């Protein structure tokens, strides 16, 4: 298995620790159900435990533990790092922050949290998220693909059976695809474009595409939109120690996700609605 960033090697230990945590959570929940005769949490774990009734207990327990591990690993750092990068770019580009605030103020009113039904009415906020994904895809390499047969692409022969890591990070900064300064954060480039993140436009694939496309896409887009919109509309933001916008550190750290090397530190000031 190709492991260009040594992710697989580094994460084996942490996966084991997380499995231990999920093991304990499932055990506690089962004890609760046995004691009270019912489960009052009404969540995914309850649904999985209900579904597993009557099946081989040990096998199902292991499956549930691994499913929780997968969703936890795939669904936490990806969302938080995208949000952190979006805020980093907005704080580094005060003119873009001002435009985003203006759109929100005019559309839903200053200080109000964003709701799901507002999505279509906030094209600039959508463009900010797309531009964040273009420059800072939280999964810089897609899950590797395997060539079913010999294939020729741009004069290169890819032999049957080769593993193909897809470098979404490089695609997002490819000057053959993106006009203007490809390293510049400019949500305007998406205004009026059809391009979305659902795997149909190969120039922007933050969630991958095809059969292995991220199953958390819809959920992730929804919560990112709500969180980013609410952070921008409900707070003004100040940098620590009078730091200037242009001094914000944007160094990247490649790991399971593409994180900021140094966490963003900013101070929220509640705005009056
Ligand atoms: C900003 C948020 C997210 C990004 C950028 C993201 C991105 C990705 C990418 C690029 C893949 C590989 C797709 C491919 O190779 O074609 C993937 C797979 C996956 N994602 Fe996400 N993801 C995000 C959030 C989530 C969330 C919230 C969940 C679930 C709660 C989730 C669950 C998964 C799972 C289970 C897979 C593996 C699918 C498979 O192996 O077939 N992701 N994600």
Residue of 78, 136, 196, 214 to test ligand 1 pocket, by largest number of atoms within 8 Å of CB: 214
Helices 217-234 and 77-92 meet at what angle, rounded to 10? 40
165 lines ligand 1 (CB under 6 A): no
* Distance from C-alpha of 113 to C-alpha of 271, rounded to nearest angstrom: 11
- pLDDT tens-digit map of 79-118: 999 999 999 999 999 999 999 999 999 999 999 999 999 9
- Residue 23 pLDDT exceeds 70: yes
75 lines ligand 1 (CB under 6 A): yes
142 lines ligand 1 (CB under 6 A): yes
- Residue 150 pLDDT exceeds 90: yes
Residue nearest to atom 1 of ligand 1 (CA): 79
From the list 128, 105, 122, 138, the residue with the least C-alpha distance to 185 is 128
* Distance from C-alpha of 8 to C-alpha of 43, rounded to nearest angstrom: 30
- Give the pTM: 0.90
CA of 185 to the centre of ligand 1 (A): 24
Q: Residue 55 has what pLDDT? A: 66
Average pLDDT over residues 177-192: 94
CA of 66 to the centre of ligand 1 (A): 15
Question: 165 near 144, Cβ under 8 Å?
Answer: yes
ipTM value, please give it: 0.99
Q: Residue 185 has what pLDDT? A: 97
Q: In what helix (H) or strand (E) does residue 218 lie, and over which residues does it extend? A: helix 217-234
Residue nearest to atom 39 of ligand 1 (CA): 212
């Amino acid at each position: 298995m190709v492991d260009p960033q040594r992710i697989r090697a580094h994460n084996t230990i942490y996966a084991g620790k997380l499995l231990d945590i999920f093991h304990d959570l499932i055990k506690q929940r089962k004890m609760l159900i046995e004691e009270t005769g019912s489960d009052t949490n009404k969540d995914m774990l309850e649904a999985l435990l209900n579904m597993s009734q009557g099946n081989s207990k040990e096998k199902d327990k292991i499956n549930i533990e691994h499913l929780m591990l997968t969703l936890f690993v795939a669904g936490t750092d990806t969302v938080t790092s995208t949000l952190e990068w979006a805020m980093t770019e907005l704080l580094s580009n005060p003119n873009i922050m001002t435009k985003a605030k203006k759109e929100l103020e005019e559309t839903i009113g200053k200080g109000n949290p964003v709701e799901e039904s507002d999505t279509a009415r906030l094209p600039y906020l959508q463009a900010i998220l797309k531009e964040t994904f273009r420059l800072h895809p939280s999964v810089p390499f897609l899950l590797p693909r395997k060539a079913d047969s010999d294939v020729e692409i741009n004069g290169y022969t890819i032999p049957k059976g080769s593993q193909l890591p897809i470098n979404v990070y490089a695609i997002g900064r490819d000057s053959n695809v993106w006009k203007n300064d490809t390293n510049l954060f400019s949500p305007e480039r998406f205004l009026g474009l059809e391009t979305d993140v659902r795997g149909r436009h190969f120039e922007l694939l933050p969630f991958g595409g095809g059969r292995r496309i991220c199953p958390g896409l819809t959920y992730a887009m929804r919560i990112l939109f709500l969180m980013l919109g609410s952070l921008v509309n409900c707070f003004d933001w100040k940098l620590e120690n009078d730091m200037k916008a242009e001094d914000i550190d944007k160094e990247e750290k490649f790991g399971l996700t593409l994180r900021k090397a140094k966490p963003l530190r900013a101070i929220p000031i509640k705005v009056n609605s």
